[in-house]
């Protein structure tokens, strides 16, 4: 892990990895989309609108996975002061927030024909909405604190406090009577979904994961570049003198 | 031990003194109950059904308003640095501050709740569960709010960011508090609310102390 804490090394590694990550993401996405939207069977009850599942479920998987990643990176950042850990957490947050929003919107679109309502205040939907606001609060705290080291540690604490929400989201459909259906994939008895639905779903899940990985690496590289620019500007500002030494700036008279 | 007690007494007395904000949270709480019927409609039956939840919402918002300056003044005048040199651990000092905060915010709200219940047409037989739920749940509001207050102390527009950070974390407290407010003392919601407060006691104190350490560098 500490071999990767050197930003230079990370830069080289990510430069090498990125084309493959994007290639995998595009390939998996195209395969998954074709398989799920065209080649998979329609549900006997829901008809073709079951296909929203292939976009909605992986988005929600990623929404939770991103937060878990963020919380894990925050923990590493706090305990080991790992240089790139807080960069990774900061980079992951907007991606996770977008996945959450995507999941909420697609879920709402699915809910209207299926349940008859765009929204319900059941445990699953409410806890995912809370997750969305946790993401926003996390991003807001990063933006509000000027000192970068202080911001990294403050947001790490916030991320860990909010991580309590993750098991609540996962088990909300078991602990409460919810409108949202129970777990069909990640359960103690194994997936209850038929293979013809499960496999395209897993391909889409994998595609979303590679998409996240690609976006994360790009965002992390951008953040590293931003910090280099900032450091460079500071160095220049510190070395500027008030009285110019060049002839053009020589005082008159 | 004496350092924590001294801090608790100081905060308690400061809150009660003029300009300490003791009456403000209470005043806001009562005003919310005054405005609610004007907004929602004066139908007494409707108000009675909504009353426990609305009173709980008022308590959450009143706690939010008073959390802003929990650590602000100490950060500004430098007494926060002295917390680190005290003979008591920082976590104990944070507990002292939060206890003083709850005694001057949450406890008065719980005591004043029957007045609001009166305004919102809640039957007198419902007052006991309401007050008990507030007594059990408002410590959680103070404790979790302290984490956000410690994280946002000293920030410009810290108050708004505090609200954004704290309200998602208040969601479970509000849900169980409002449910427990209309049920008796043996209700499972009340027990869960107590569990939340106990969990907040541990996590809130630890996280607040960790966040306060960031301000000293």
Domain ranges of chain B: 2-213
Confidence at A5, pLDDT banded by 50, 70, 90: low
What is the average pLDDT value for chain A, to the nearest integer? 89
Cβ neighbours of A130 in B, within 8 Å: 168, 171
| Total domain count, chain A | 1
CA-based nearest residue in chain A for residue B203: A161
Our CA-based measurement puts residue A178 at a distance from the nearest CA of chain B, in whole angstroms, of 15
Q: How many CB pairs under 8 A join A and B?
A: 54
Cβ contact A140–B211 (<8 Å): no
CB nearest to A154's CB, from B157, B175, B211: B211
DSSP for residue A120: -
Across residues A193-205, what is the average pLDDT? 88
Cβ contact B169–A162 (<8 Å): yes
Q: Report the DSSP beta bridge partners of residue B36.
A: none
Q: Hey, is the C-beta of B161 within 8 angstroms of any chain A C-beta?
A: yes
Across residues A39-55, what is the average pLDDT? 84
Confidence at A43, pLDDT banded by 50, 70, 90: confident
Q: Hey, is the C-beta of B210 within 8 angstroms of any chain A C-beta?
A: yes
Q: What percent of chain B has pLDDT over 70?
A: 99
Confidence at B217, pLDDT banded by 50, 70, 90: low
Contact B188, B129 (CB under 8 A): no
Probe site for chain A from B140, B161, B209, B214 (most A CB atoms < 10 A): B214
What is the three-class DSSP state of A172?
Answer: helix
Cβ contact B203–A164 (<8 Å): yes
What is the three-class DSSP state of B160?
Answer: helix
Residues 6+ apart with CB under 8 A from B48: B120, B121, B122, B123
Nearest to B150 by CA among B65, B92, B68, B83: B68
Structural domain range at position A85: 2-177+191-226
Q: Hey, is the C-beta of B165 within 8 angstroms of any chain A C-beta?
A: yes
* pLDDT number for residue B30: 87
- Please tell me whether the interface predicted TM-score (ipTM) of this complex is above 0.85: yes
Confidence at A33, pLDDT banded by 50, 70, 90: very high
Write the pLDDT tens digit of every residue in B17-73: 877 677 788 888 888 888 888 888 888 888 888 899 999 999 999 998 889 888 988
Our CA-based measurement puts residue B158 at a distance from the nearest CA of chain A, in whole angstroms, of 8
What is the average pLDDT value for chain B, to the nearest integer? 90
How is residue A38 written in tokens? 């065209």
Contact B66, B181 (CB under 8 A): no
* pLDDT number for residue A253: 44
């Amino acid at each position: 892990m500490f071999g990767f804490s050197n930003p230079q090394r990370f830069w080289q590694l990510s430069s090498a990895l990125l084309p493959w990550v994007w290639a995998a993401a595009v390939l998996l996405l195209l395969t998954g989309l074709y398989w799920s939207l065209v080649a998979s069977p329609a549900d006997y009850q829901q008809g073709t609108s079951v296909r929203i599942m292939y976009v909605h479920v992986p988005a929600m998987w990623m929404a939770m996975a991103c937060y878990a990643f963020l919380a894990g990176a925050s923990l590493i950042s706090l305990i080991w002061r790992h240089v790139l850990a807080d960069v990774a957490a900061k980079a992951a947050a907007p991606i996770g927030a977008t996945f959450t929003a995507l999941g909420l919107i697609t879920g709402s679109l699915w809910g209207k024909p299926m349940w008859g309502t765009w929204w319900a205040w059941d445990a699953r939907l409410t806890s995912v909405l809370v997750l969305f606001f946790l993401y926003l609060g996390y991003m807001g705290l990063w933006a509000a604190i000027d000192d970068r080291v202080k911001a990294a540690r403050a947001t790490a604490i916030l991320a860990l406090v909010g991580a309590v929400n993750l098991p609540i989201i996962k088990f909300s459909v078991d602990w409460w009577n919810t409108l949202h259906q129970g777990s069909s994939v990640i359960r103690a008895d194994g997936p209850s979904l038929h293979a013809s639905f499960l496999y395209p779903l897993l391909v889409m899940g994998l595609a979303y994961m590679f998409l996240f990985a690609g976006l994360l690496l790009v965002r992390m590289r951008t953040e590293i570049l931003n910090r280099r620019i900032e450091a460079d500007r500071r160095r220049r500002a510190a070395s500027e003198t008030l009285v110019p030494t060049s002839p053009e700036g020589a005082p008159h008279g | 031990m004496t350092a924590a007690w001294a801090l608790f007494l100081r905060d308690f007395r400061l809150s009660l003194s003029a300009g300490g904000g003791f009456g403000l949270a209470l005043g806001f709480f009562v005003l919310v109950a005054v405005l609610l019927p004007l907004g929602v409609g004066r139908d007494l039956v409707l108000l009675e059904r909504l009353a426990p939840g609305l009173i709980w919402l008022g308590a959450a918002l009143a706690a939010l308003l008073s959390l802003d300056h929990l650590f602000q003044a100490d950060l500004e005048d430098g007494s926060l640095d002295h917390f680190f040199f005290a003979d008591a651990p920082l976590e104990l000092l944070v507990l002292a501050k939060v206890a003083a905060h709850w005694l001057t915010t949450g406890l008065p709200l719980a005591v004043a709740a029957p007045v609001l219940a009166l305004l919102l047409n809640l039957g007198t037989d419902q007052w006991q569960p309401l007050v008990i739920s507030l007594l059990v749940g408002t410590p959680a509001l103070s404790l979790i709010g302290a984490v956000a207050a410690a994280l946002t102390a000293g920030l410009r527009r810290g108050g708004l960011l505090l609200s954004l950070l704290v309200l998602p974390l208040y969601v479970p407290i509000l849900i169980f508090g409002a449910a427990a407010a209309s049920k008796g003392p043996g209700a499972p919601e009340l027990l869960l609310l107590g569990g939340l407060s106990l969990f907040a006691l541990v996590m809130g104190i630890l996280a607040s102390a960790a966040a306060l350490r960031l301000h000293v560098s």
